[in-house]
A and B are shown apart, each in its own frame.
Chain A
Amino acid sequence: MNPNQAQLLKEVMAADFTLIDLNLYLNTHPYDQNAIMLFYNCAQRAKILRNEYERLYGPLTAQSTPYKCPWQWINSPWPWE
């Protein structure tokens, strides 16, 4: 994986992790308006980063695999490689 791809992937991972953590917090604090706003803003940012990553380096989920032959989803590297 080239350094630019690794860097952008790291940003997607960070953005998504922010959502994971806020998600847990909000499950037990469902009336925290500020946290809800933060979640929403972070979700927007995560979506933009994800779209950018997928456009440049290929799909992060099978369902977002583009119309292209051969099927791109199974391409290396897998996360454990």
Chain B
Amino acid sequence: MWVYEKKLEYPVKIKNPNPKLAKYIISQYGGPDGELAASLRYLSQRFSMPTNEAKGILNDIGTEELAHLEMIGTIVYQLTRGVPADVLERVGLGAYYTDHDHAVYPMSASGTPFTAAYIQSKGDPIADLHEDMAAEQKARATYENLINLTDDPDVIDPLRFLREREVVHFQRFGEALRIVQDKLAEKPFYVKKPDCMNPAYKR
């Protein structure tokens, strides 16, 4: 289970609102390569991992992603705090304001609401860990795009931190993949029957 801690993983303190930037950064909240998708992906995949190293890494990275989700939500909140409706409308957030006012809602930069279709949980640890490594690279690329769209150091600083975490996660997933591959390549002491031959699977 989980326990909440009343702090961010890394500080976010943005002095100047910038709703146009918030419109882009919200993609890392509820977009295709965002933190919500990452967290749900890893926390769902961990159940079917074959080694304790892989269970641990998916459990704990999935948990850290929730902390990143909170950081992104904080950035979006601070970038839009107190911004009047007509300004939101001018930067392309009129539709957003209509449905969500100043709330934080999980969607992509283009306005697509969050969907679990962004993730897979395949039950095949090799397939899942490859997806996870790709997901970390896609998130890293997204953070780089966002940094390119920003000139505010208050925003760039936490985005750089989050980008670096993607790189670390990629590395750890690669190590977990190697451990899982080694385990699956071990010579079994007996021949495992396919599931269809196991009486327990028959009605």
Interface residues of A (CB under 8 A from B): 16, 62, 73-76, 78-80
Contacts and interface: CB of A to CB of B under 8 A. Distances in A.
B52 A75 contact: yes
B113 interface: no
B53 A74 contact: yes
Interface stretch (B55-63, B89-97, B129-137): B55-63
B47 interface: yes
A27 B59 CA distance: 29
Interface of B: 1, 47, 52-53, 55-56, 59-60
Most buried by A among B47, B52, B60: B52
B47 A74 contact: no
A30 to B, nearest CB: 15
Contacts, number: 14
Nearest to B49: A78
14 contacts: A16-B1, A62-B60, A73-B56, A74-B52, A74-B53, A74-B55, A74-B56, A75-B52, A76-B52, A78-B52, A78-B55, A78-B59, A79-B1, A80-B47
Contacts of B55: 74, 78
B57 to A, nearest CB: 8
Q: Which 9 A-B pairs have the closest CB atoms?
A: A74-B56, A74-B52, A80-B47, A78-B55, A74-B53, A76-B52, A62-B60, A73-B56, A75-B52
Nearest to A80: B47
Given A75-B52, A80-B47, 12 more contacts: A16-B1, A62-B60, A73-B56, A74-B52, A74-B53, A74-B55, A74-B56, A76-B52, A78-B52, A78-B55, A78-B59, A79-B1
B3 to A, nearest CB: 8
Most buried by B among A16, A74, A80: A74
Contacts of A78: 52, 55, 59
